Amino acid sequence: MHDHEISTKFTVFDSSKELSIAEQKLLETAIAIRDSAYAPYSGFLVGASVLMQNGDVFSGNNQENAAYPSGICAERVAIWSAMAALPKGRIKKIFISARSEKTLVDRPVAPCGACRQAIAEYETKQDENIEIFFTGETGKIVKANSIKDLLPWMFDNSMLS
Report the pLDDT value the prediction gives residue 7, as an integer from 0 to 100: 87
Residue 20 lies in a domain: yes
Residue 120 lies in a domain: yes
Q: Which domain covers residue 48, as residue numbers?
A: 10-155
Residue 38 lies in a domain: yes
Q: Could you tell me the CATH number of the domain that includes residue 133?
A: 3.40.140.10
Mean pLDDT of 17-39: 98
From 23, 75, 123, 131, active-site residue: 75
Give residue 159's pLDDT band: very low, low, confident or very high (50, 70, 90): confident
135-150 tens-digit pLDDT: 999 999 999 999 999 9
Residue 160 lies in a domain: no
Q: How far apart are CA 72 and CA 19, in angstroms?
A: 28
Q: How far apart are CA 60 and CA 62, in angstroms?
A: 7
* pLDDT of 161 strictly over 80: no
Residue 49 lies in a domain: yes
Residue 75: active-site member:
yes
Residue 60 lies in a domain: yes
Residue 4 lies in a domain: no
Residue 3 lies in a domain: no
Overall number of domains in the chain: 1
Ramachandran area for residue 127 (φ above 0: left; ψ -120 to 50: alpha; else beta): left
Mean pLDDT of 56-74: 95
121-133 tens-digit pLDDT: 999 999 999 999 9
Q: What pTM was estimated for this model as a whole?
A: 0.94
